[in-house]
Structure 1
Amino acid sequence: MTAPTIDIDLHAQRLTLLDADGHTIEGYDVSTASKGGGEFENSHQTPRGHHRIRAKIGAGAAPGTVFNARRPTGEIYSVELAEAAPRRDWILSRILWLCGEEIGRNRLGAMDSMRRHIYIHGAADTAVMGKPGSLGCIRMTNSDVIDLFERVPVGTKVFIHE
């Protein structure tokens, strides 16, 4: 069986999981960078172009598990944690770490998506989906990122566009 692919539309704030024939398996509202699309390090923009899932992190973790530097902290997201760090861009539940596939656009040098730590990840309950708001990553609800995580293998192709 051929692996599915992921299409992320920055304008529509929508992630679509497609089968090998390009038919929609599932669609999810997402939240990408508030500063739009862009590839440069420290731009806080979502990188465009062809990517693949390089690593899947968090298999079996409880929904709302807090990650820092791709490691579970032992905490579960809560109102108390949110109040203690009101400006934090929470990385929760699961991480799909993206690797760029276009040298000079999103791979190598100051435009390397993997080095920029660009993920598809779960977000705080207060993060609004369908509207830009992240610092570069693709945020999803925790239930949606867990669902997507279970459906895709490492190596899944991801295309991000405006």
Structure 2
Amino acid sequence: MACWVAVDLSRQSLEIRNDAPSGSRDAPPPAASSDALVHACAISSGLNGIGELDGSGCTPTGWHVIRAAIGAGNPRGAVYRGRRFTGEVFTPELALEHPERDWILTRILWLSGRELGVNRGRNARGERVDSLRRYIYFHGTPSTEPMGVAASHGCIRLRDDDLLRLFAEAVPGTPVLLHA
């Protein structure tokens, strides 16, 4: 059975599920039964909180879909800039050489909003709220970065093992609900 992904931004957690997608941006899905829950893990979302505006540094809410899966075949710890593998593999020494970088590692699952005017296109005031154009991803992060607390620039950070599991289960087209 195809899976879907539920991300609880208030609890900083992610579930890969194989039951029918349900819930909304303001109403979380019902708890997954033990046989519907494929995998659960901690995440780190936007330090600036929840929001859809371009440039806000917030993590958007609502229904999304995985638009692209980037990095298959690259090594664990592969470093990405502009969604391209730089040829580097993350090490603590590399981090010391580039302390200013917001590390995007291992794999990228690029999200596209499904709700016009909410997380896709522009809102009623004409402001861009498009998750795809905001470059909102699931991506890996160094093991020194915290999980379970909001600390990113709007993306959803995961540990490598959790990201690789998500990458294997959630192919392009997989529904994703980001809710508070």
Q: Report the TM-score, using the length of structure 2 for normalisation.
A: 0.87
Residue 101 of structure 2 is matched in structure 1 by 88
Task: Letter of the 2:177 partner, please give it.
Answer: F
* Match status 1:44 vs 2:48: no
User: Aligned residue for 2:139?
Assistant: 121
| Preserved contact between residue 8 and residue 159 of structure 1 (Cα < 8 Å) | yes
1:28 to partner: Cα distance:
1.0
Give 1:19-98 correspondences, 5 Å limit.
Answer: 19-21=18-20, 23-98=36-111
The residue identity in structure 1 corresponding to 2:8 is D
**1:56-80: per-residue Cα shift (whole Å, max 9, x none)?**
0000110000001000000000111
**Distance in 1 between residues matched to 2:81 and 2:164, nearest whole Å:** 18
Specify the alignment match of 1:10 in structure 2.
9
Instruction: Report if the CA contact (8 A) 1:16-1:26 is conserved.
Output: yes
Match of 2:29 in 1: none
Larger Rg: 2
- Aligned residues with identical type, % of pairs: 44
Q: Which amino acid aligns with 1:156?
A: T
C-alpha distance in structure 1 between counterparts of 2:91 and 2:162, whole Å: 18
Q: What root-mean-square deviation, in Å, do the aligned CA atoms of Structure 1 and Structure 2 show?
A: 1.0
Aligned to 1:160: 178
Mapped contact 1:55–1:154 kept (Cα < 8 A): yes
How many residues were matched structurally? 161
Secondary structure of 2:173's aligned partner: coil
| Post-superposition offset of 1:20 | 2.8
User: Which runs of 5 or more residues in structure 1 are unaligned?
Assistant: none
Aligned counterpart in structure 1 of residue 160 of structure 2, from 136, 142, 148: 142
Q: What does the per-residue CA deviation read over 1:114-149, in whole Å, with 9 as the maximum and x for residues that have no partner? A: 000000000012111111100000000112101110
The question of whether the paired residues in 2 share the 8 Å contact of 1:63 and 1:143 is answered with: no
- Kept in 2, the 8 Å contact 1:39–1:45? The answer is yes
Aligned mates of 2:81, 2:100 — CA distance in 1: 15
Three-state SS of the structure 1 residue aligned to 2:171 is coil
SS in 2 for 1:7: strand
1:7-41 CA deviation, whole Å, 9 max, x = no partner?
Answer: 00011000000003452111011000011110000
| Structure 2 segments unaligned to the other structure (5+ residues) | 21-31, 123-127
Secondary structure of the 2:176 match is strand
1:103 to 103, 113, 116: 116
Any runs of at least 4 consecutive aligned residues in structure 1 with deviations exceeding 2 A, and if so which?
none
CA drift of 1:87 comes to 3.3
Q: Distance in 2 between matches of 1:105 and 1:129?
A: 27
